[in-house]
């Protein structure tokens, strides 16, 4: 398709211009050290530069002993509550944990029974797309990338909102609650449209059910028969909780703060956050994990053989297997070193679902890789700190067991993270009255302006001057 589509053709002219662009874009790496630039807004030890304050969540990976910071098992807190305790405290028969945590993140306290009922009713009421939106927007020119579809739909909703540019807190809250409610529909319907028009799959659009939770509705509208087990709904609800917030410094949430500080509308701010999350360095990592394991299953004959697994992992680190990137996907985190609390919790639920689905052999493979990979990375990379599995390690496996296609892995992340982005947008608008504007130091040079005639005239370079005497000698010799 690309070869025959002039819209996306890379011409020789573009190749030439891109070389010119690359040539003038290179910055000497030593200059970053010279001017003490914290690349990636992180110091030499990987610690994030402090750029803001928040009361929404806390990401902890160390403990202080005798005034000295030491690595510790990771902990994640939502509004002061340990996520581990939140999940343990939710009724085992309830699939509305995501809604409880959404209330907590937005309003600062856990809801009572009556408050939760009123809140879920409000979300259910907002879970309705504008008239003909599916036909006129989602079904038209469906994209192969569901994050693109989701962002486009969010930006289009601006046109349906009579108060789109009103950034008063009540109106922003209304917009955020609507988007929280609509994200599952926009994502799954976009996927159904793509599969129908591009792959010829049967098209079905199930309307959401008022009495269902977010997790239940996702499974309901995704599956042709709308059927799911309580464990499936519980596991998806838990996965959503674990992905809904992770501090203000992660790339997409910082994007929310950054763009919100300009005073722009909610739809534009959230579309920007979606653009950030779409990046493979941020929201698409679990897809890489699943594909890595698919390759591993083909290359390794005995999934229980520790030596065979270790040999494959060594090839990964030496850029001799899978995508030759030298990475074991799902391992390592910018903050957590000993353990990622989200991974610990999700692993427990993943095992329960693997038993229900008859996929314990695969779970055992994941578990074996997890036990080997961290040590191997630390030894072969000569690292001082430990390397643990992160939440992406098991999340893709969980989604695959739930029958969620890979195209929806990152949109599921977005559905989960929307309450977190909403809380941070509200926090930014409440507390900040300055646009976020960090500094970039100019390290180029100043030069005199040249007129068009001067720029177009033939240039005489130093090489030309050196070559001229030789040229004259040859010409004199020729005359003789």
State how far the Cα of 422 lies from the Cα of 430, in Å rounded to an integer: 12
Q: With contact defined as beta carbons under 8 Å apart, do 76 and 60 qualify?
A: yes
CB atoms within 10 A of CB 321: 19
DSSP single-letter state for residue 134: I
Q: CA–CA distance from 350 to each of 306, 358, 467, 469 (Å)?
A: 22, 12, 72, 78
Nearest to 282 by CA among 255, 261, 322: 255
Burial code (b: 16+ CB inside 10 Å, e: under 16) for 450-461 equals eeeeeeeeeeee
State how far the Cα of 233 lies from the Cα of 239, in Å rounded to an integer: 10
State how far the Cα of 49 lies from the Cα of 61, in Å rounded to an integer: 16
Q: With contact defined as beta carbons under 8 Å apart, do 149 and 142 qualify?
A: yes
Edge-to-edge, what's the strand order for the sheet holding 68-78? Answer: 57-65, 68-78, 81-82
DSSP 358-416: T-HHHHHHHHHHHHHHHHHHHHHTT-SS---B-THHHHHHHHHHTT--GGGHHHHHHHH
Nearest to 249 by CA among 51, 433, 60, 411: 51
Q: With contact defined as beta carbons under 8 Å apart, do 187 and 411 qualify?
A: yes
The catalytic position among 392, 445, 446, 462 is 392
At 106, list the tokens: 């937005």
Q: With contact defined as beta carbons under 8 Å apart, do 388 and 337 qualify?
A: yes
| CA-based end-to-end distance of the chain | 63
State how far the Cα of 52 lies from the Cα of 118, in Å rounded to an integer: 33
Q: With contact defined as beta carbons under 8 Å apart, do 236 and 402 qualify?
A: yes
The catalytic position among 265, 333, 340, 424 is 333
Catalytic residue list contains 333: yes
Q: CA–CA distance from 20 to each of 55, 100, 460, 463 (Å)?
A: 46, 53, 20, 21
CB contact set of 150 (below 8 Å; sequence gap of 6+): 183, 186, 187, 190, 274, 411, 414
At 177, list the tokens: 């609650």
The alpha carbon torsion through 171, 96, 285, 297 (nearest 10 deg) reads -160
Catalytic residue list contains 392: yes
State how far the Cα of 398 lies from the Cα of 37, in Å rounded to an integer: 40
Which residues are part of the catalytic machinery? 333, 392
């Amino acid at each position: 398709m690309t070869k025959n589509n002039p819209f996306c053709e890379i011409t020789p002219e573009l190749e030439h211009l891109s070389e010119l662009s690359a040539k003038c874009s290179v910055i000497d790496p030593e200059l970053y050290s010279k001017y003490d630039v914290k690349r990636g807004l992180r110091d030499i030890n990987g610690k994030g530069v402090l750029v803001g304050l928040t009361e929404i969540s806390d990401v902890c990976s160390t403990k202080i002993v005798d005034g000295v910071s030491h690595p510790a098992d990771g902990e994640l807190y939502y509004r002061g509550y340990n996520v581990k305790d939140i999940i343990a405290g939710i009724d085992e028969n309830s699939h509305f944990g995501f809604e409880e945590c959404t209330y907590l993140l937005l309003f600062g306290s856990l809801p009572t029974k009556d408050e939760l009922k009123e809140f879920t009713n409000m979300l259910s009421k907002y879970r309705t797309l504008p008239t003909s939106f599916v036909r006129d927007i989602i079904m038209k020119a469906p994209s192969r990338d569901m994050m693109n579809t989701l962002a486009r739909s969010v930006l289009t909703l601006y046109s349906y909102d009579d108060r789109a540019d009103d950034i008063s807190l009540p109106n922003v809250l209304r917009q955020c609650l609507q988007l929280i409610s609509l994200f599952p529909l926009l994502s799954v319907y976009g996927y159904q449209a793509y599969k129908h028009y591009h792959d010829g799959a049967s098209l079905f659009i199930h309307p959401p059910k008022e009495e269902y939770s977010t997790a239940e509705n996702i499974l309901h509208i995704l599956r042709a028969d709308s059927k799911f087990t309580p464990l499936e709904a519980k596991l998806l609800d838990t996965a959503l909780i674990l992905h809904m917030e992770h501090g203000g410094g992660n790339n997409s949430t910082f994007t929310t703060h950054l763009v919100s500080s300009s005073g722009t509308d909610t739809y534009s701010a959230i579309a920007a956050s979606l653009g950030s999350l779409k990046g493979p360095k941020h929201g698409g990592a679990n897809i890489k994990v699943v594909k890595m394991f698919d390759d591993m299953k083909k290359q390794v004959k005995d999934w229980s053989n520790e030596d065979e697994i270790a040999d494959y992992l060594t090839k990964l680190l030496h850029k001799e297997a899978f995508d030759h990137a030298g990475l074991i996907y799902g391992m390592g985190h910018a903050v957590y070193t000993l353990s990622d609390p989200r991974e610990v919790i999700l692993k427990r639920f993943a095992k329960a679902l693997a038993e229900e689905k008859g996929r314990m052999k695969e779970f055992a493979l994941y578990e074996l890789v997890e036990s080997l990979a961290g040590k191997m990375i630390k030894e072969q990379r000569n690292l001082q700190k430990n390397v643990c599995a992160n939440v992406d390690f098991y999340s893709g496996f969980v989604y695959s067991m739930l029958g969620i296609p890979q195209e929806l892995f990152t949109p599921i992340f977005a559905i989960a993270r929307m309450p977190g982005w909403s809380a941070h947008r509200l926090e930014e608008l409440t507390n900040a009255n300055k646009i976020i504007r960090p500094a970039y130091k100019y390290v180029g040079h100043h030069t005199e302006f040249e007129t068009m005639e001067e720029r177009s005239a033939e240039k005489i370079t130093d090489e030309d001057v050196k070559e001229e005497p030789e040229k004259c000698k040859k010409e004199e010799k020729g005359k003789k």
